[in-house]
Chains A and B, each alone.
Chain A
């Protein structure tokens, strides 16, 4: 049996102005074991949010006194790591897509299905600060992990071979990568392939709590001492104690306060820790996997990450590639998530129009896999059919101009490159790529799969002519 518990299951705020819908959603949430706080307006939502700082917010985008998007922006400004799930009426899904671009975790379309709503809330809490244990016997979870962590691209093959190489070691692993690239899946894969797979995999997000709370979540808290007056403090196991024998996955390590980083370093050096309110050291055997969404060396130079801690943790780096660099993995992932969303939404889609597949290969996917899931959900929720066509994609993508190619590899119609020299073709391709990326040489270089320095060198040569 997989072991599972929640390190911190902080509040849920439901913002819905229509009383009957608020009553309905609250009833469904309570039935699922949540205790939602309720707000009927944007002002009330912001007051309650500021007071209670809930981890997850279910937010109707159309409120009587405020634009839901504005409310979401204020919430995220107050606490960036909050998971906001926006609710929208059918016909206003473009607003929801805008919201996900601005940081919403997910969106739900009215009428809300209870399974979908609870699923979205559970996923938000899980991502916020979850502890999920996976065991080698837990076949269904392992399969799900394998499917989600799929990829045949060279970049992913490199990740897989790195995981296989480090799994047998106890050395700390540091996973780097943009948001949405699957850093947590990578950490789980390392755990599952290690000899610790039957033990716990505990996740702690350092961005998800204030420093005091984070210290307790990490080290735990001692209960009342015998012989002393009865205290209100309850004993609580921290993430380190829970991960004893298994793996502790620490997200956004650079967001730990400097004092806590010092305490964490001591734990790393001694392999022991003392819960808050206790001086006794407890020995543990924990494998550490850390992540940072920013370059940790920059945080180190800026003084946000202790140098000694960095060198203790940055032993084996694994870099998760962004989706735009994973070639046809995009198609594998799209097919996988299409099947998943279709099952959730009760639709019949089973394939993509070739034009959509071609477009997916060329998109920059700045939000990586998470963005792809939102795009697919948009298409599935709003349309019916068996094949996802370009017209079903969000407007910004549906209208995006992607060059089509014939079997010969040349653009359709008259060949615009006829009569040009290789140097001229090269200059034209590079100039066009820079223009497509609004003057950004690094992005153009990434698209062309060459080094930015190559582009700068070429430009110098052209300038000299």
Chain B
């Protein structure tokens, strides 16, 4: 979608955005289910969904969708099951992008 002159800056920004969302997931994981801020989680999952779709990370899109739905349904059980997965995948994707930027 963009020329090579913008690619590095864009990848760096995608990494930063994913890292920010990943921190939201990590913070939620540290909290008890009743203390989790569902609107914040939902917003982060929605953001990850759009970002992951844009970079072609379809697995991450799927889990972000599930987290978003669990937040909307206020399904604490589903969230407890999904949060570790999305936190890990988001962090890994951010790290992969960082490695790619560094290697270029």
Contact = CB atoms under 8 A, between A and B. Distances in A.
A358 to B, nearest CB: 33
B87 interface: no
Interface string B12-46: 01101100000000000000000000000001001
B95 to A, nearest CB: 16
A109 to B, nearest CB: 9
A111 B56 CA distance: 8
Contact of B17 (A20, A112, A114): A20
Given A27-B2, A89-B53, A20 B13 contact: yes
* Residue from A23, A28, A89, A113 whose CB has the most chain B CB atoms within 10 Å: A89
B13 A23 contact: yes
B61 interface: yes
Contacts of A114: 1
A31 interface: yes
Contacts of A5: none
Interface residues of B, number: 22
B2 A62 contact: no
Contacts of A19: 13, 16-17
A90 interface: yes
Contacts of A91: 49, 65, 68
B1 A24 contact: yes
Contacts of B6: 23, 27
Nearest to B68: A91
B54 interface: yes
B82 interface: no
A21 B65 contact: no
Contacts of B61: 90
B50 A110 contact: yes
Contacts of B53: 89-90, 110-111
A18 interface: yes
Nearest to B1: A114
Interface in A22-79: 23-24, 27-28, 31, 62, 64
Main secondary structure of the interface of B (DSSP, over half): helix
A20 B46 contact: no
A18 B1 contact: no
Given A18-B51, A21-B50, A28 B1 contact: yes
Contact of B50 (A28, A64, A89): A89
Contacts of A21: 17, 50-51, 54
* Residue from A18, A62, A110, A113 whose CB has the most chain B CB atoms within 10 Å: A18
Interface in B65-82: 65, 68
A62 B49 CA distance: 12
B9 interface: yes
B101 interface: no
Contacts of A89: 46, 49-50, 53
Interface in A80-115: 89-91, 110-114
A254 to B, nearest CB: 42
Nearest to A87: B50
* Residue from A20, A21, A113 whose CB has the most chain B CB atoms within 10 Å: A20
Contact of B54 (A17, A31, A62, A111): A111
A18 B10 contact: no
B13 to A, nearest CB: 4
Nearest to B13: A20
Contacts of B3: 31
A113 B70 CA distance: 28
Nearest to B14: A20
Contacts of B13: 19-20, 23
A225 B41 CA distance: 63
Interface of A: 17-21, 23-24, 27-28, 31, 62, 64, 89-91, 110-114
Given A17-B47, A24-B1, 13 more contacts: A18-B47, A18-B51, A19-B16, A19-B17, A20-B10, A23-B6, A24-B2, A31-B3, A89-B50, A90-B53, A91-B68, A111-B53, A113-B1
Counting from the closest, the 3 A-B pairs by CB-CB distance are A20-B13, A20-B14, A111-B53
17 contacts: A18-B50, A18-B51, A19-B16, A19-B17, A20-B14, A20-B17, A20-B51, A24-B10, A28-B2, A31-B2, A62-B43, A64-B43, A89-B49, A90-B65, A91-B65, A110-B49, A110-B50
